[in-house]
Amino acid sequence: MSHISPMAKCLRPYAFLFILLISAPSRAQYVGGSGSGASSGDYSSSAAMPLTLLQFIAEAEADRVTLRWSTANEVGTDYFIVERTSDGRSYTTVGQVDAAGMSSWGASLDYRLYDPAPLPGSSLYRLKSVDLDGSFTYSELVEIERDAEMLPLAFSIHPNPSTGSTIGIGLTELSDGEPIRVEVLDAAGRRLVTRSLQGSPGEYLQLQLRDRLPAGTYFLRLSQPSSGAHTSRLVVTPFG
């Protein structure tokens, strides 16, 4: 016949409680907040949910493209980069926006960035979300089609197609007396040539290039402080 000590009899009611304690899921506590007051709470020890991109849209305007996006569940997000392409292969950076880094549960955060010198015709944009640890994800592509009637006719190119060594520019609607920044961009939006010229509406300017442009499609962009940026397509034919 087994013998149960008086001590064991006293501990028997607490055995079930001990089993519950050792089988309970682990929890971790955090303390955070801003300013002088701090908030405290608890969260599960499982990994944090990734950022949720609620929307990413592009809106074409007369002289720019507005990029808007909204997020939820931001945890450890560092910054966002908007990239643009015209061929789906080569991308250029439009701009960067710092992330809030943390969002309240169930709340959304809204962001906005402008492309001040968009390409004529069709362009594709994507959003790159970069975390504090360097990892990143891309959004799906969004397409913008800028119609010809949306683009102010501030200058013309003669001749077009061009041989790629000299570009003739006829000024029409640019502001009189202001310096003109002239840029030649390739099809991916990369800047190849930058010059500063002076001229008035009605004048015809010659842009002499040190290196002949290879045959292909380019964009000529003229900008002034008061009138903004204006872009037109430039075609260079093979040199015969």
Q: Using CA atoms, how far apart are residues 11 and 46, in angstroms rounded to an integer?
A: 35
- Check: CB of residue 79 under 8 Å from CB of residue 97: yes
Domains 52-146 and 154-236 share a fold: yes
Please count the other Cβ atoms lying within 10 Å of the Cβ belonging to residue 67: 25
CATH of domain 52-146: 2.60.40.2060
pLDDT at 196 over 90: yes
Cα angle for residues 55, 60, 63 (degrees, 5° grid): 140
Query: Taking residues 47-69, what's their average pLDDT?
Result: 83
Range 220-236 burial, b when 16+ CB lie within 10 A, else e: bbbbbeebbbbbbebeb
Mean pLDDT for all residues in the chain: 76
- Check: CB of residue 155 under 8 Å from CB of residue 232: yes
Residue boundaries of the structural domains of the chain: 52-146, 154-236
Query: Taking residues 24-41, what's their average pLDDT?
Result: 27
- 147 contacts: CB under 8 Å, gap ≥ 6: none
CATH 2.60.40.1220 fits 154-236, yes or no: yes
Under the banding of pLDDT at 50, 70 and 90, the label for residue 86 is confident
Residue 33 has a pLDDT of: 26
206 residue type, one letter:
Q
The residue behind tokens 């089993």 is 19
pLDDT at 239 over 70: no
pLDDT, tens digit (0-9, with 9 covering 90-100), for 215-227: 988 888 888 887 7
Under the banding of pLDDT at 50, 70 and 90, the label for residue 36 is very low
Residue 232 has a pLDDT of: 80
